[in-house]
Structure 1
Amino acid sequence: MTDGGIFIGADEGGANPQSLDLRRANRHGLIAGATGTGKTVTIQGIIEGFSAVGVPCFVADVKGDLSGLAMAGSPQAKTHDAFAARAKAIGDDDWSYAETPVQFWDLYGEQGHPIRTTISEMGPLLLARLMDLNDVQEGVLTIAFHVADKEGLLLLDLDDLQSMLSYCAARADELTTTYGNVSKQSIGAIQRSLLQLRSQGAENFFGEPALAMADFIGLDDKGRGIVNVLAADKLMQSPKLYATFLLWLMSELFEHLPEVGDPDKPVMAFFFDEAHLLFDNAPKALLEKIEQVVRLIRSKGVGVYFITQNPIDVPDTVAGQLGNRVQHALRAFTPRDQAAVKAAATTFRANPGVDVETAITELKVGEALVSLLLPDGAPAPVQRTLIKPPASRVGPITPAERKVLIETDAIGAKYDTLVDRESCEEILAAKAQEASAAAAEASAKDATDKAAAAQAKDDARAAKEAERARIAADRAAANSPWAKIATTAARTATSTITRQVANEVAKQVFGTGSRRGASGGGDLLGGIVRGVLGGIFKGR
């Protein structure tokens, strides 16, 4: 350490010492150089310096080498003699071996504590980048997020997002009328991209408990900043997931940290290894997001350091904001390499004693061109510098050492168990079940009503047929030969009885009169009686 800064290195002989001013460390930086030129050692030394002054750090460990930060270096290491000689050459008399407090993280939960976030926290822009969606599909995804938010449907994991997309597909016509075209084809394309995410293991990244930023910004019991090391060797096999995760992490830091302006030292230092993965094939909207976060996160006290093999991998809009620069050797073997050398040479503040373009190709391992911001904010003239050796182990720790460190750190088991609370998937499944039950009940009622109506119709038809049968039977009975004989007999009997009764009445009434009178009166009275009695018998 130096007064107010982190010692980076010096010329051979100790001249022109280079220090990273802590008050300008939040102005970001770039560490570039070809493979094998010493970038990892440079990063390791800068992180050690930040931790020593109480600045927490985050670094993605792409090759596994940076896990060595957790253990002190050893005089028995094969690098000891070279490092001791370099420390003596640059006048670093205080150099000694020491460990750095480390917390290990891993999106897959294999080499560190799991890191999770929710689908809602990731947001449609970063998810669209992660799933490589076009503008139309990104618009449909944004609508799905809006509908979920409006209807209180929590999007926590990939299952929730899958359920939400299916829900939107079922309501495509309605949503198209309200928000614009929501085609089932676009939703299908998003769902296929979602399936690809699952195949890359992204489902391990989404869920709860989500990472609390406070667990990333802590100090140990000695006041040293804790270094969060992300195991990224497996993650690098899914480059879009890697880049999207790191951009999300920076965005989360930006949202959660308060404005502090330019503090005496950074609140946190963020190291983004293999930075070209963030920018490769990135759409304009995403590049604007990256530029915005890098530009504004400075006021939150966060310094972002991009590490890449070629400085031209970083777009000019972002590179222009990187005030602190360490350039290791580049190889000018191809036209692109030669263009990179020239581009890198033009980014440094000129130094009459250094031919930058020539020096870049001549730098040896552990040597770099350094230009850091001065206390007044101006870049220092570029200087050829031997980088100080690290105090921690160079190279990876063993699995057994990693296991002990994970089990004994301050995080404990806070993130180790996945929590699956009620969210969009469960709510929509419950709604679908309720709708299905209501439909089944309505269908059953309709079936019962239809059965009752059919039975009533059958009963009415049967009654009508029975009535018709009775009438036909009556008619048939009335027209049968025996019925006709019976009717004739009845009529004959009635006529005979009527005549006899009438004669008897007439005889009794007129029996005492003259024969003529009796005969005439009898005929009249007999006719009357026969008429009355015939009507009676006919009625029967």
Structure 2
Amino acid sequence: MGTPLVIAKKTTNTQQEIVLHSQFANRHGLIAGATGTGKTVTLKVLAENFSRIGVPVFLADAKGDVSSLAKAGESNPKFDERIKNLHIESIPFAASPVVFWDLFGEQGHPIRSTVSEIGPLLLAQILNLNDTQEGVLSAVFRIADDQGLLLIDFKDLKSMLTYVSEHAAEFKAEYGNLSPASLGAIQRNLLALADQGGDKFFGEPALDILDFIQTDSQGRGNINVLAADKLMNTPKLYATFLLWMLSELFEQLPEVGDLDKPKLVFFFDEAHLLFDNASPALQEKIEQVVRLIRSKGVGIYFVTQNPLDLPESVLGQLGNRVQHALRAFTPKDQKAVKTAADTFRANPEFKVDQAITELGVGEALISCLDEQGTPQMVERGWIMPPYSSFSPITHEERQACMNQSIIAGVYEKQLDRESAFEMLQNKVAERQQQALQAEQEKAAAKEKEALEKQQAKEAEVLARQQAREQERLAREQQKEAERAAKQREKLTQDIVGTFAKSAARSLGGSTGQKIVRGLLGSLFGKR
């Protein structure tokens, strides 16, 4: 059997306690009420009760005041009067074992997840993408998987988007149209998220979700407090991060059914952020997680101002409810009061819708599951005072708590192993090297071609020069031959003339002349 956790005392009879049975704490719950009505104190009381029976807790600290769980409370006149009215002799003030976390690594141990673990559906929610853009983002993840490109941190996703954008035409046949407009919108939203500090969430070492399910040396469950004051500036990131943690718990924890006490209780503060503008696919996933995660031993308690913030499909699954005061000044407020009243099992002693508007600070309407798991009639009661302080801890106290944590130093140093960014850089470098090599080969070929042309031109010039030289030599030889021939002809003429003259002198007279005429014909003529 479970343990009854005293969370309040009845308003009409403070001797009677209102309890939450630990064996049904995994049936989820709701803490609702207007600002300043006591929701934070209720959350602290529940967290302390769960911790004392060895149940780890996770909750977000939106305003910084929940950090007071790490410091023991102390008496003051107002507090003493309160416990006296509740017929409580004394409160054993004590600090709870608190582990501080922070997505930005400033007020707690850093929390990171890889881009791949977040996945396209939740990432599209963070980036506020429409259906078309979400489809393109899913295709980018698919391409990364098919090509063995690890998406770990922010720069991996940015480089992957750039790579897909540059090769969209190549991917179109297999992955569909990857429009530049959608890719550009995703990249712009990523830059906006980075400007808000959201890029620090992506990386390694990634959070081991089982680190939330730890107890201290005394067997008390650790209360994991997420610093959310800065995170609330990016509500999409806040809501999606908490949903991611629930999904991780759902995937990693084994089925255990109903236990004597939960393995973990998860408080989801500002729960309306989870459902605002959620796509139908995401809302379906949320409802599935809420419906099935209780079989893993996890109880989810939504903290919000108005029950209307939650879809009816989720609201109907919440077995333990604490409703603080609501104000009914407008028709919308009146509808919220009626909705809240209708979710309770009526009590004939008072009108629920009227009581909701009359509750004092710290007073609430409470209905938990009884020992048979049936919703009890709603009771009006005063929330028990917490054991911890009402004042937030100082920066020095927070730092000391972090230094003593069992996970101190585990997540502080970020790792950067080879992933899509480095792989794509290597691809670019390889392409650049190939392009450079091709350019060098092309230049070498051009240089060779130019050299061959130059050599051919020089050979042609040389050949022409040789031809001209040969022609010149031939002409000179011809001229030389002609001169030699002329010289020989002249020599012959000279010899013949000399002989003729000699013969004429030798013969003399007419006989000689006749002989000459006979020999030379009419060369000399008649005298």
Please report the TM-score for the alignment, with normalisation by the length of structure 2. Answer: 0.90
In the TM superposition, 1:29-428 aligns within 5 A as 29-76=29-76, 79-88=78-87, 92-93=88-89, 95-428=91-424
Q: How far 1:17 moved relative to its partner?
A: 2.4
1:173-200 CA-to-partner distances (Å, cap 9, x unmatched) read: 1211011111222211111111011011
Paired residue for 1:491?
485
Residue 374 of structure 1 deviates from its aligned partner by 1.6
Q: CA deviation at 1:496?
A: 7.7
Q: How many residues align?
A: 494
* C-alpha separation in 1, matches of 2:78 and 2:31: 22
1:79 CA drift (Å): 4.5
1:333 offset after TM fit, Å?
1.4
Q: Could you tell me which residue of structure 2 aligns to residue 23 of structure 1?
A: 23
Question: 1:86: Cα distance to partner?
Answer: 4.2
Conserved 8 A contact 2:101-2:225: yes
* Partners of 1:135 and 1:440 in 2: CA distance: 42
Shift in Å, 1:277: 0.9
Letter of the structure 2 residue corresponding to residue 6 of structure 1: L
Q: 1:337 to 1:166 in 2, by over 3 A?
A: same
Q: Deviation digits for residues 284-317 of structure 1, max 9, x if unmatched?
A: 1111111111111111000000000111011111
Q: Kindly provide the CA deviation profile for residues 412-449 of structure 1, in whole angstroms up to 9, marking residues without a partner as x.
A: 11111111111111111122112211221221122112
The code of the aligned residue for 2:181 comes to Q
Aligned-residue offset at 1:484: 6.5
Kindly indicate whether the alpha-carbon contact (under 8 Å) linking 1:87 and 1:389 is maintained by their aligned counterparts in 2: no
Match of 2:7 in 1: 8
Separation in 2 of the partners of 1:452 and 1:120? Answer: 52
Equivalents in 2 of 1:278, 1:16: separation in Å?
Answer: 36
Following superposition, the deviation at residue 4 of structure 1 comes to 2.0
Aligned-partner SS, 1:395: coil
What is the one-letter code of the residue matched to 1:173? A
Distance 1:224 1:487, change over 3 A: same
Quick check: 1:354–1:384 contact (8 Å CA) kept in 2?
A: no
SS for the counterpart of 1:303 is: strand
The separation in 2 between residues aligned to 1:220 and 1:86, in whole angstroms, is 34
Letter aligned with residue 209 of structure 1: P
The answer (yes or no) to whether the contact 2:33–2:304 under 8 Å persists in 1 is yes
SS at match of 1:229: strand
How far the C-alpha of 1:491 sits from its partner, in A, is 3.1
* Moved beyond 4 Å, runs of 4+: 472-479, 482-485, 493-500
C-alpha distance in structure 1 between counterparts of 2:184 and 2:151, whole Å: 18
Structure 1 residue ranges without an equivalent (≥5):
501-540
Q: RMSD of aligned C-alpha atoms? A: 2.1
Letter of the structure 2 residue corresponding to residue 101 of structure 1: P
Which SS does the other structure have where 1:31 is aligned?
Answer: strand
Q: Which residue pairs with 1:520 in the alignment? A: none
Q: Distance in 2 between matches of 1:229 and 1:494?
A: 131
Q: For residues 397 and 361 of structure 2, what CA distance do their matches in structure 1 show?
A: 29
Cα shift readout 1:328-362 (whole Å, capped 9, x = no counterpart): 00011122111111111111111111201100100
Give the distance between the partners of 1:499 and 1:145, measured in 2 at CA.
113
Give the Å deviation of 1:495. 6.4
Deviation of residue 486 (structure 1)?
Answer: 3.3
Greater Cα shift, 435-444 or 56-65: 435-444
> Alignment partner of 1:394: what SS?
coil
Rounded Cα–Cα distance in structure 2 between residues aligned with 1:82 and 1:297:
41
1:125 to partner: Cα distance? 0.5
How far apart are the structure 2 equivalents of 1:161 and 1:494? Answer: 103
Give 1:95 shift: 3.4
Q: How far does residue 251 in structure 1 lie from its aligned partner after superposition?
A: 0.8
Conserved? CA contact 2:247–2:289, under 8 Å: yes
Cα distance change, pair 289–474 in 1 and its aligned pair in 2 (3 A): same
Secondary structure of 1:8's counterpart equals: strand
CA distance in structure 2 between the partners assigned to 1:137 and 1:495 by the alignment: 109
CA contact (8 A) 1:354 1:383 kept: no
Give, in whole Å, the separation in 1 of the partners of 2:79 and 2:190: 49
What amino acid does structure 1 have at the position aligned with 2:335?
A
Q: How far does the alpha carbon of each residue in 1:20-57 deviate from its partner, in whole angstroms, 9 at most, with x for none? A: 11111101001000000010111110111100110000
Identity %: 54
1:214-242 alpha-carbon deviations (Å, 9 max, x no partner): 21100011100000000111111111111
1:438 aligned onto 2:434: yes
Counterparts of 1:428 and 1:164, CA distance in 2: 8
Does 447-456 or 428-437 show the bigger shift? Answer: 428-437
CA contact (8 A) 1:348 1:381 kept: yes
Q: Which moved more, 1:245-254 or 1:178-187?
A: 178-187
- Which structure 2 segments of 5+ residues have no match? 495-527
Q: CA deviation at 1:119?
A: 0.6
Q: Note the C-alpha offset of 1:485.
A: 4.8
Match of 1:304, SS? strand
Alpha carbons of structure 1 residues 153 and 3: separation in structure 2 relative to 1, 3 Å: closer
- 8 Å CA contact retained: 2:15, 2:86: no
SS at match of 1:26: helix
- Give how far 1:138 is off: 1.1
2:430 and 2:471 map into 1 onto residues whose CA distance is 61
Whether contact under 8 Å (2:2, 2:261) holds in the other structure is no
Kept in 1, the 8 Å contact 2:83–2:89? The answer is no
Q: Which whole-Å CA distance do the structure 1 matches of 2:273 and 2:195 have between them?
A: 20
Does the 8 Å CA contact 2:2/2:23 hold for their aligned counterparts? no
Per-residue CA shift, 1:386-407, capped at 9, x if unaligned? 1111111113111111111111
**In structure 2, C-alpha distance between the alignment counterparts of 1:23 and 1:329, rounded to whole Å:** 28
CA positional deviation for 1:163: 1.0
Letter in 2 for 1:334: T
Which amino acid is 1:490 matched to? A
Shift of 1:170: 2.1
